[in-house]
Structure 1
Amino acid sequence: MSDATTALDAGVLTLTFRRAAQHNALTWDMYAALVDACERADADDEVRALVVRGDGGRAFVAGTDIGQFAAFTSGADGVAYEKRVTEVLDRIRAVQVPTVSAVEGYCVGGGLGIACATDLRIATPGSRFGVPIARTLGNCLSARTLDLLVESLGRALTADLLLTARFLETDEARRVPGFLHAVVDDLDAGLAELTPRLTGGAPLTIWATKELLRDRADGPDRDDSAVVERVYGSADFRAAVAAFGDRRPPTWTGN
């Protein structure tokens, strides 16, 4: 079976990541499948909403698969990677129909970026949100991805999560204004309640709302390449990638 599948039912296009054994950690093919789903959502008149979810019940998305970093040789590779992730997240934001992240389990790193890029999020009680890179890989987010987190979570909480590398539990996440549309025991039931409201709305009203909200959020572009290159080109990053593969804690040097 493919690592990502799509299904269209009653106007709802659902993309499901299917690497449950790896907590749905994303490969480049899975990122590409997400972009393809966005393209289909805009091109197919039958699609009135896009839902993104993870298979297995343990994770929505546990970030990018660490194996994708194995070929990195310099900070420039990190710049290219973060640019690619930014393009995927921006493509999600540009989808003209409502988008929903259905979260069950871990929503980590790139997974949290995807969740923040969608219009709405629902989650099960045991879900956990975070970007614990300060204690795992020692990499960084692009300015654009950081903006998405701040937009959804607020500056203070975004700083808290990144600087402490802690996870945001569902009970706390539900108290963040606007972050979670609903907390549901059963994702399928929650989606069955939510999606008819989205597919039954006036398409132009929905389109205009999304366009204007996006225009309001988009600020001037910033060149973050120097910061990203320094981090991805560091010895700490290379050592942490190796440590992760060896299942041992990394040692940070600041270099």
Structure 2
Amino acid sequence: MNFENILTTSENGIATVTINRPTKLNALNKATIQELHMAFEALEKDEKVRAIILTGSENKAFVAGADISEFADFSVSEGAELAAKGQASLFDFVENLKTPVIAAVNGFALGGGLELAMACHFRIASDNAKMGLPEVSLGVIPGYGGTQRLPQLVGKGKAMELIMTAGMLSAEEAKTAGLVNHVVPQAELLELANSIAQKIMRNSPLAIGKAIEAINANFKDGVDGYAIEIKNFGESFGTEDFKEGTGAFLEKRKPVFTGK
């Protein structure tokens, strides 16, 4: 599948999606959001892909924000539609994928860029990364889930401060706040992402998908996360992966999971 604004590669079960608009610091426009949706949708259906790494091209930006030129003259209804469509087609879509998505934040992750990183299942960052939600400095608020996901990750008070001040966190500050899991030199970022992906791939893809669903359920209004956990735990007993995993443990060998 060929794209204009992103690059995709896949090797040994690990797919890498690279946002490739370096002259725009990889800013998200509507076309890029649509291409990302299409790429993630295809990768989710590919049984050979067991983990996905999302990053930005070159070394300045993961995603420096949304492409402001596209919506600077929008009306109230157009603004609401922009947020609703973006959340549904990309941000919520990524969060609910059963294939793990690792955000490898390789530079600026601002506005929609940080919102995209937060939609991934977890984040690692290069030591030059800067992260923030500066939307209020433009007279608007985060619209791609930032007001919801940032408090989940760093707590309400810290999120309030970051959003109200339009401030940025360094990579180390983001790690301390719980926004990213690891910080490494930029030259080591994709190596670390691949290393973590390889560890993920040793485990049952079916169980990982069920775990993602159960974890996400805790943050959804009107959903009983404990009930989802019980349901998914029980369903695991009917899978080939469960039989293989428990059998391999009892036989003292490494399991070979098929995702069935």
Tell me, in whole angstroms, the C-alpha distance in 1 between the residues paired with 2:28 and 2:135.
16
* Structure 1 match to 2:183: 183
* Structure 1 match to 2:130: 128
Counterparts in 2 of 1:71 and 1:134: CA distance versus 1, 3 Å:
closer
TM-score (norm 2): 0.79
Tell me, in whole angstroms, the C-alpha distance in 2 between the residues paired with 1:64 and 1:204.
34
Q: What letter matches 1:150 in structure 2?
A: P
Given candidates 200, 203, 208, the residue that maps to 2:202 is 200
Given candidates 71, 75, 78, the residue that maps to 1:69 is 71
3-state SS of 2:103 partner: strand
Tell me, in whole angstroms, the C-alpha distance in 2 between the residues paired with 1:151 and 1:174.
14
TM-score (norm 1): 0.81
Report the identity percentage: 28
3-state SS of 2:63 partner: strand
* Structure 1 match to 2:20: 18
Tell me, in whole angstroms, the C-alpha distance in 2 between the residues paired with 1:146 and 1:70.
21
3-state SS of 1:46 partner: coil
Contact 1:12 1:51 in 2 (8 A): yes
* Structure 2 match to 1:83: 84
Tell me, in whole angstroms, the C-alpha distance in 2 between the residues paired with 1:191 and 1:150.
25
Q: What letter matches 2:163 in structure 1?
A: L
Counterparts in 2 of 1:33 and 1:106: CA distance versus 1, 3 Å:
same
* Structure 2 match to 1:32: 34
Q: Does 1:58 align with 2:60?
A: yes
CA positional deviation for 1:120: 1.3
CA-to-aligned-CA distance 1:30-84 (integer Å, 9 cap, x gap): 1012111221122110110111100010000011111211452x11111001112
CA positional deviation for 1:165: 0.9
Counterparts in 2 of 1:140 and 1:24: CA distance versus 1, 3 Å:
same
Tell me, in whole angstroms, the C-alpha distance in 1 between the residues paired with 2:136 and 2:143.
14
Give the length in aligned residue pairs.
218
Contact 1:41 1:95 in 2 (8 A): no
Tell me, in whole angstroms, the C-alpha distance in 2 between the residues paired with 1:57 and 1:143.
24
3-state SS of 1:217 partner: coil
Q: Which moved more, 1:181-190 or 1:91-100?
A: 181-190
CA positional deviation for 1:144: 4.2
Which structure 2 segments of 5+ residues have no match? 224-260
Q: What letter matches 1:166 in structure 2?
A: G
Q: Whose Rg is larger?
A: 2
User: Does 1 or 2 have the higher relative contact order (CA < 8 Å, sep 6+)?
Assistant: 1
